[in-house]
A and B are shown apart, each in its own frame.
Chain A
Amino acid sequence: MSFRVVKAVLYVLYGAFFLVPLFALVEFSTRGLGLSAPRTLQYWREIFDHPELTHAIVVSLELAVITSVATLLLLVPTMVWVRLRAKPLARLVEFLCLLPLTIPAIVIVVGLAPVYAWVTYLSPGALKGSALVLVFVYVVLVLPFAYRAIDAGLSAIDVATLAEAARSLGAGWTTVMFRVIAPNIRSALLNAALLSVALTLGEFTVASLLNYVNLQVAVNQLAQANAGVSVAVAAALLLFTFLLLLVLSIFGGRGRPSSRGTARKGRTA
């Protein structure tokens, strides 16, 4: 059996595994009331009856952008520095980037509450009480995922040689970071950004327990109306996030070096 056929079969199997539960969700959201009721799109239409969702979507999108940019800015220089100059600190950074994932959100909120009391106190008037302050904790929540993706990318290139070569040619650190290293770990950066955006859009527990209103909190409010709407809006949100990430990956993946592309085509390893 040729590799292409095997690949196709595997894709179909994976596709079935992931799409069947989603299909079941959509099927449920179109069920009418009572045993033999006809299919209905009523619950999907109800989603648009709630204007407060738009505000929540905007807030969450802003959070997503700020979180991904902030995470990349915080992590990439640190990880590059550790690889170049502070190898003994590598395990420490790795552990710190795994720690957010070891503690369930309901517990971390207990410790976050005093910190956020200060954040609220110190925030300028316009931002007081705004959900945008969630960005501080979202960056921490994204760290484990972004770290892994960027680490995989950095371990695939020879950071030391690249950096040394660039520095010896007179490049400053910003040039090294933005124009030498970053283009070489493009797929890692993109995947880290995708994970950040998806996490921010899907985060519920911390925002809810701190009584902020983000997209998932607003959706949860809406979902209280009835069972059909709760599932319809969840499915709609999945679709929305998927399309958003697709757009992001199209723009983020542009300009991929063609040499790598042609060399990869037809590879059967």
Chain B
Amino acid sequence: MRHLLRRRGALALGAAAAVLLVTACAPPSDDDDKSSGDGAKVATATSAEAAGGMDALVAAAKKEGQLNVIALPPDWANYGEIVKAFGAKYGLKVNSAQPDGSSQDEINAVNQLKGSGRQPDVLDVGLAVALANTKLFAPYQVATWKDIPDTQKESTGLWFQDYGGYMSVGYDSAKVPAVTSVQDLLKPEYKNKVALNGDPTQANAALNGVEMASLANGGSLDDISKGVDFFGRLKAAGNFIPVQATTATVKSGETPVVFDWDYLSAAHVTDVPTWKVFVPSDAVLGGYYAQAINKDAAHPAAARLWEEYLFSDEGQNLWLKGGARPVRMEAMTSAGTIDKTAAAALPQVSGTPQFLSEEQNTKAKDVLASTWAKAIG
């Protein structure tokens, strides 16, 4: 009798294990109308002409009715207005998920939500993340492809840079004295007041902040250690606080000085009218983000239409309005289609801008991984 019970028990366990194994693999995907006729043509189109022209693209997008975007905070380079304008212009519903997500969060969502219908259609990621994940992207060349400099795009259209800015020190002029150089921040007037936008081993913006500090302290982009030293000295002087700088901490006065991209810093003016942005003339570090289309997008036509919109004059000018420099800025300025008031409102930058290369990025993160925690710990 106990025999029987044991066998029943073993059978139950075996059944359970089988169920668990099956669940661990992916379910069969329901490829409804994606792989048939016209739908397929647009879904894998590598440009608007290949999709049958802009009108065909718009029609296909309208049929899909939605677009999944991810990690686009409304006050990041004016994405709030861009999303609203796009939705209104084409009558599409834009589902904006995880506004606080990092570039890697976007990739994680692409991988984890594959086939669910909620996976992101388009991505806006840092260059390092884009380069590491090209196998997830679908190639696409927007109508204004020629205007994007060759160094700022992948030749087949797997990724292409969209907007950028310069690393800056933003500060509340009503709470702290004006910042005229990065070394100023070591002075006692800035006690407990300086923060980074994130941890440099975690966030791209913070990494560039430390690199900029390195440049401003006699280092180079190849040698981030001077930047780490600077922040170590800042910490020792009691001027650096490890809290995450957000719009709320800026408004409450807890973080009156923040290292951040100039266009992100500029957005703080809505909460703190006395906020100013300073880009050091001896340390002009620029950084661009990149767009990519998810190969397994749930709404491929809408995704392509989104890219067309972003790289049209209208889209690029909206980014400019948000204080970011659109990638087609040079071409548009020569063509006269640039928004002149917005262009004039950009922070004055003197000196030649430098950009982090992939090797410099890799070297920097290795140094940071081993020294950052100890320096500010």
A118 touching B113 in the complex, CB below 8 Å, given contacts A33-B273, A227-B246: no
Give bound CA distance, A23 to B377, whole Å. 32
**Would B113 and A211 count as touching, CB distance under 8 A?**
yes
B332 contacts chain A at the CB level, 8 A cutoff: no
Verify B118–A230 contact, CB threshold 8 A: no
Residues of B contacting A221 in the complex (Cβ-Cβ under 8 angstroms): 96, 99
Could you say which residues of chain A place their CB within 8 Å of the CB of B120? 211
18 contacts between A and B (CB under 8 A): A28-B252, A113-B111, A113-B113, A114-B23, A117-B27, A117-B116, A129-B116, A210-B113, A210-B118, A211-B95, A211-B109, A211-B113, A211-B120, A217-B97, A227-B250, A228-B251, A230-B248, A231-B248
Q: Is A187 an interface residue (CB 8 A)?
A: no
Tell whether A110 pairs with B112 under 8 Å between CB atoms, given A209-B98, A225-B74.
yes
A236 to B31, CA, bound (A): 43
Given A113-B112, A224-B75; A208-B248 close (CB under 8 Å): no
Choose among B26, B75, B112, B270 the residue with the greatest number of A CB atoms under 10 Å from its CB.
B112
SS class of chain B's interface: helix, strand, loop or mixed? loop
| Chain B residues in 8 Å Cβ range of A115 | 23
Within 8 A of A (CB), among B1-57: 23-28, 30
Are A35 and B97 closer than 8 Å at their CB atoms? no
Knowing A113-B113, A120-B116, the reply to whether A226 touches B96 (Cβ < 8 A) is no
With a cutoff of 8 Å between Cβ atoms, the chain A residues found around residue B174 in the complex are 34-35
In this assembly, does A220 line the interface, its C-beta being within 8 Å of a C-beta of chain B? yes
Bound CA–CA A20/B97 (angstroms): 33
- CB-CB under 8 A from A109, the residues of chain B are 112
Q: A117-B26, A224-B75 are in contact. List 16 more A-B contacts (CB 8 A).
A: A28-B251, A31-B251, A34-B174, A109-B112, A114-B24, A116-B116, A121-B28, A209-B98, A210-B118, A221-B96, A221-B99, A224-B74, A226-B247, A227-B246, A227-B271, A230-B247
B246 & A117 in contact (Cβ 8 Å cutoff): no
Chain A residue numbers with a CB within 8 Å of B30 are: 121
Q: Are B109 and A114 in contact (CB under 8 A)?
A: no
Instruction: State which residues 25-53 of A face B: CB under 8 Å.
Output: 28, 31, 33-35
- How far, in whole Å, are A210 and B111 apart by their CA atoms in the complex? 11
B-to-A contact residues, CB < 8 Å: 23-28, 30, 68, 70, 73-75, 80, 95-100, 105, 108-109, 111-120, 174, 246-248, 250-252, 270-274
CA distance A224 to B80 in the complex (A): 9
Q: Would A212 and B118 count as touching, CB distance under 8 A?
A: yes
The interface residues of chain B lying within 8 Å CB-to-CB of A209 are 98, 105, 108-109, 112
User: A246 vs B25: C-alpha distance in the bound complex, in angstroms?
Assistant: 44
- Closest chain-A Cβ to B250's Cβ sits at a distance in Å of 7
Contact yes or no, B117 A129, CB < 8 A: yes
Q: B99 to chain A: which residues have CB within 8 Å? A: 220-221, 224
Bound-complex Cα distance A3 to B111 (A) = 60
Q: Which of A121, A128, A227 contacts B27 (CB 8 A)?
A: A121
A31 to B112, CA, bound (A): 41
For chain A, what secondary structure do more than half of its interface residues adopt (helix, strand, loop), or is it mixed? helix
CA distance A217 to B27 in the complex (A): 27
- The 5 A-B pairs of least Cβ separation, nearest first, read A113-B112, A121-B27, A227-B248, A211-B118, A227-B251
Q: Which of A243-268 contact B (CB under 8 A)?
A: none
**Distance (Å) between the CB of A266 and the closest chain B CB?**
47
Q: Which residues of B contact A217 (CB under 8 A)?
A: 97
Judge whether A33 and B112 touch: CB under 8 Å: no
CA of A227 to CA of B275, assembled, Å: 15
Chain B positions within 8 Å of A224 at CB level: 73-75, 80, 99
Contacting residues of chain A (200-217) with chain B, CB-CB under 8 angstroms: 208-212, 217
Q: How far is the CB of A201 from the nearest CB of chain B, in Å?
A: 20
A95 to B1, CA, bound (A): 31
Q: Give the distance in Å from the alpha carbon of A36 to the alpha carbon of B225 in the complex.
A: 42
A209 to B102, CA, bound (A): 12
List, in ascending order, chain A residues with CB within 8 A of B75's CB: 224, 226
**How far, in whole Å, are A147 and B274 apart by their CA atoms in the complex?**
52
In this complex, what residue of B is CB-closest to A33? Answer: B273
A35 nearest CB neighbor, chain B only = B174
Contacting B26 at CB < 8 Å: which of A34, A114, A208, A230?
Answer: A114
Q: How far is the CB of B269 from chain A (nearest CB, A)?
A: 10
A211 touches which of B25, B73, B98 (Cβ 8 Å): B98
CA of A208 to CA of B108, assembled, Å: 12
Closest to B97 in A: A211
CA distance A251 to B97 in the complex (A): 37
Report whether B25 and A114 are in contact in the complex, using a CB–CB cutoff of 8 Å.
yes
| Chain A residue at smallest Cβ distance from B251 | A227
- Does A117 contact B115, Cβ atoms closer than 8 Å? yes
Residue of B nearest to A217 (CB): B97
Query: Chain B residues with Cβ under 8 A from A35's Cβ?
Result: 174, 274
B270: chain A residues at CB < 8 Å are 226
Q: Which residue of chain A lies nearest to B114 when distances are taken between CB atoms in the complex?
A: A117
* A179 nearest CB across to chain B (Å): 31
Nearest-neighbour CB distance to chain A for B127, whole angstroms, equals 24
Find the residue from B99, B119, B250 having the highest chain A CB count within 10 A: B99
- The answer to whether A118 touches B23, judged by C-beta atoms less than 8 angstroms apart, is yes
User: Which A104-151 residues have C-beta < 8 A from chain B?
Assistant: 109-110, 113-118, 120-122, 128-129
